[in-house]
Amino acid sequence: MLPEYAGLVDPVVELRAACLAAVAWLGETGPVEVVADAQGRRVAEALLAAAGGLVSTSSTPDVVETPEGKAAPEAPSAYLVVANGSARRGEKAPGHLDERAAGFDERLGRALRGPDLEALAGLDEGLGAELLVGNTTGLRELGGLLTAEHRAMVDYDDDPFGVQYWVMRWQCES
């Protein structure tokens, strides 16, 4: 996903397209706050930039100039969580096969779709680390950001390299 790792042929055409469309959609509503680890933050900023020159709230100054004078920037109205499922889903996966990966991802996928706030907030960080889940902490945080009024839209759900990816959007229906 990072431009500095681009080859001549994109190995993740569909995934990238889904990410860019979702991020563009997110940017339409206003300032975007990123929930990610350090590497995920680079991915988030790259996607935001590629989706039309967007930037996250953490990349905007603490104080902005307005016609009325200095003011705090607009509060975030959207969140971009960068995470992924297990990277141990097969023998060719980056972390080789761990038999527990499929079950973990299945439960996680169900919790994301629900959304099941309790299941997300209660994700096992230790198991997540063992299964090379990208950013279990961020997924737990997602459980705190979502509400019972949110409905999930699944744009992508696949594991092309033995790593489980979802591109999902949640919108509050109330």
Least separation in angstroms between residue 163's CB and another protein is: 4
Rg of the chain taking only CA atoms, in angstroms? 17
Least separation in angstroms between residue 170's CB and another protein is: 25
Residue with Cβ nearer another protein (1 or 146)? 1
Q: How far is CA 39 from CA 5, 19, 45, 61, 136, in A?
A: 13, 16, 10, 21, 14
Question: In 28-147, where does DSSP find H-type helix?
Answer: 38-50, 100-113, 117-121, 125-130, 136-145
Residue with Cβ nearer another protein (93 or 142)? 93
Least separation in angstroms between residue 10's CB and another protein is: 8
Q: How far is CA 42 from CA 34, 36, 76, 107, in A?
A: 10, 9, 19, 27
Residues forming contacts to another protein in the complex (CB under 8 A) are: 2, 5-9, 11-12, 87, 93-94, 161-163
- Which of 113, 123, 100, 110 has its CA nearest to residue 146? 113
Least separation in angstroms between residue 2's CB and another protein is: 8
Residue with Cβ nearer another protein (12 or 117)? 12
Residue with Cβ nearer another protein (116 or 130)? 130
